[in-house]
Amino acid sequence: MIKWVKERIQKWRKRRERKRKLKELAEKDPFIYD
Amino acid sequence: MTYWGVSAMSHDAALAVYQNDKIVYASHGERYSRIKNDQNLHAEQISEALQYGRPERVFFYENTTKKKTRQARSGQYRLLFKESPSTYMKKLGVDVPVTMFDHHYSHAAYGYYSSGLYQETCDVLVIDSIGEFETISVWRGRHGKLHKAWSQDYPHSVGLWYSAMTQRLGLKPQEHEYILMGMAALGDPGRFYQTIRDDFFECLPGHNNPEVRFRENLHRGCLWWRRDLVNVQDYVDIAAAVQKIYEEIFVGILSWMSKITESDQVAIVGGCALNCVANTLAYNFYERVWIPPNPGDAGSSIGAIMAALEKPVVVHDAYLGTEINGEYPFQDVLQDLEGRGISAVASGPAEFGPRALGHRSILADPRLLGIKDQVNKIKQREEFRPFAPMILREHAARYFHLPRTDFDAPYMQYAIPCISPQLYPGITHIDGTSRVQTVDRCHGNVRTLLERWYERTGCPMLLNTSLNIKGEPLVNTREDAERWSVVHGLAVRTAK
């Protein structure tokens, strides 16, 4: 059970980090075309 | 039967109306909102189109479902929530069925079915930034049908790379590519040629392979590239190298296309078909080259109609937009030209396309010294940028080195070497070329104006540039013209 919770937290952290990076990238270098 | 063709919700919104086998109206959204490359249609534009009756169906220039798949893949998540074309049209008060066509198919249909080569074989090259997934496609038109022969997909896009380099030079991507093309003539292409090839390209097209592969996805531009290059000389040298590589890619694809088909005719469409310097090179591979008046996405509003009907639709000329009714002001314009050497005119239907072809134009005497600076000052443009000439078609060979004896450029799509550039500095670029508009009977009043000018002066040519200032769309209505006269101090002669 504890292992499962740890894994979930890790996954959630990873996802949050990826989202933050994408947001940062979008602010720094936005797409030049739709 | 009335159909509408629509290109909107991305950039360069446009609306075309088909009725009784011909296009009776076509206009750009930007001319109404006064926002360059506006992505939306406008109420006034819709009401002009509704004068031809309600449409039975709307043909949309791209498949937004497929496009959203690509946007999801490239990480453009916000765009996934954009409304559908059907909802978009409903909001504009047009509640009719909407049919979508693939982006490159709309382009190809516009190129093929407007080329006058319906019964013959004709190759079609579509080259732009991105459609749904496609970035370059090659089509074969035979017996009235189009077949896709080859295509290349995102993220390997020549158009995106050209736009990314435009942004790298401090210009606006998806808008100022023509400035990069103009800058190219001032620089040394050799200085950065190899660096750019090595840094960006995995492979370039050639006689046996049309593929272009990039090392990086340039969808977010390339501001990271060589941050040490910051001065003006660096910028013009980069522009020269970019243009040279673009021409190599263009020539490579055409060379491959001409090898695999027996056709001696080609239609070129897509945003990259506005690169008039490269376009001229197509004559090295094909006997006849056709580029429709509006090869970018806005033109696909007509293309979507042609894609749906799979047959040629009569498009008489490029004068399809908002009408300024009355007689063309020949006398006023000629008087201005003989007096000040410069005149502005807004008369008849507006041009549908990026070029002013005499209905919303600033005209000037190309023989005058300093005329280029004078017009550049009015238009608030960069000093190096050249202006285009319009010339009576039968006189073109006396002034320009035409690629073929029957050469025709009614929509200013080719840069042609001038025979005596020193005599006409106002209409010649630093590399000795001009983006010629050959004026024929299809140009109506503009032809008459030029004939009268020739009778009076012996010069069959006028400098012709769009009636706007840098960064603004073309003047559209009589009110716009009056406002423009007041703000910029040059009287616009409108229809009487």
CB-based contact B219 A22, cutoff 8 Å: no
Contact call for B11 and A29, based on CB within 8 A: no
Identify whether residues B21 and B135 lie together within a single domain.
no
How does DSSP classify residue B390? E
**A32–B160: do the CB atoms touch at under 8 Å?**
yes
CB B490 within 8 A of CB B378: yes
> For residues B404 and B286, what is the distance between their CA atoms, to the nearest angstrom?
11
- Chain B residues within 8 angstroms (CB to CB) of chain A: 10-11, 71, 74-76, 79, 129-130, 160, 163-164, 167, 173-174, 218-221, 223-224
Which of B471-475's residues contact partners 24+ apart within 8 Å by CB, and which partners?
B471/B36, B472/B34, B472/B36, B473/B28, B473/B30, B473/B31, B473/B34, B473/B35, B473/B36, B473/B38, B474/B31, B474/B350, B474/B351, B474/B356, B474/B360, B475/B346, B475/B360
Query: Using 50, 70 and 90 to split pLDDT, how confident is the model at A1?
Result: confident
Q: Would you list the DSSP string of B405-462?
A: TT---TT---EEEBS-GGG-GGG--TTSEEE-EEE-GGGTHHHHHHHHHHHHHS--EE
The C-alpha atoms of residue B242 and residue B277 are separated, in whole angstroms, by: 12
Same domain, B150 and B282: yes
Please state, in angstroms and rounded to a whole number, the distance separating the CA atoms of residues B233 and B229.
Answer: 9
Nearest-Cα distance to chain B for A14, in Å, is 17
Mean per-residue pLDDT of chain B: 95
In a domain, B325, yes or no: yes
CA B65 and chain centroid, separation: 27
Instruction: Please indicate, yes or no, whether residues B192 and B304 belong to a single structural domain of this protein.
Output: no
Indicate if B170 and B89 belong to the same structural domain: no
With contacts defined as CB-CB under 8 Å, which chain B residues touch A22?
75
**How would residue B293 be classed by pLDDT, with cut points 50, 70 and 90?**
very high
pLDDT band at B474 (very low <50, low <70, confident <90, very high): very high
Q: Which residues of B touch A32 (CB under 8 A)?
A: 160, 163-164, 167, 173-174, 218-221
- Residues B174, A31: C-beta atoms closer than 8 Å: no
Integer CA distances (angstroms), B20 to A18, B28, B95, in order? 55, 22, 22
Taking an 8 Å cut-off on Cβ atoms, the answer to whether B167 and A32 are in contact is yes
User: Which of B279, B309, B339 is the last residue before a domain boundary?
Assistant: B309
Residue of A nearest to B8 (CA): A34
Q: Are residues B88 and B133 in the same domain?
A: no
The verdict on a CB contact (< 8 Å) between A33 and B74 is no
> Which of B10, B220, B221 has its CB closest to that of A34?
B10
| Residue B314 covered by a domain | no
CATH code (residue B196) = 3.30.420.40
- pLDDT, average across residues B215-223: 94
Please list every residue in chain B whose beta carbon sits closer than 8 Å to the beta carbon of residue A31. 74, 76, 219-220
Same domain, B323 and B470: yes
Q: Which residues of A touch B129 (CB under 8 A)?
A: 33
Spatial CB neighbours of B208, under 8 Å, sequence gap ≥ 6: B256, B259
pLDDT of residue A22: 76
Q: How are beta strands B388-392 and B461-466 bridged, if at all?
A: antiparallel
pLDDT band at B247 (very low <50, low <70, confident <90, very high): very high
Report how many domains make up chain B: 3
Structural domain span for residue B154: 115-291
B329 lies in the same domain as B453? yes
Nearest-Cα residue of chain B relative to residue A18: B75
Rounded to two decimals, the ipTM of the complex is: 0.81
Tens of pLDDT, residues B124-146: 999 999 999 999 999 999 988 99
**pLDDT at residue number A24:** 78
Whether B166 and B120 share a structural domain: yes
Instruction: Tell me whether residue B444 is in a domain.
Output: yes
Question: Do B248 and B140 have their domain in common?
Answer: yes
Residue B471 belongs to domain with CATH number: 3.90.870.20
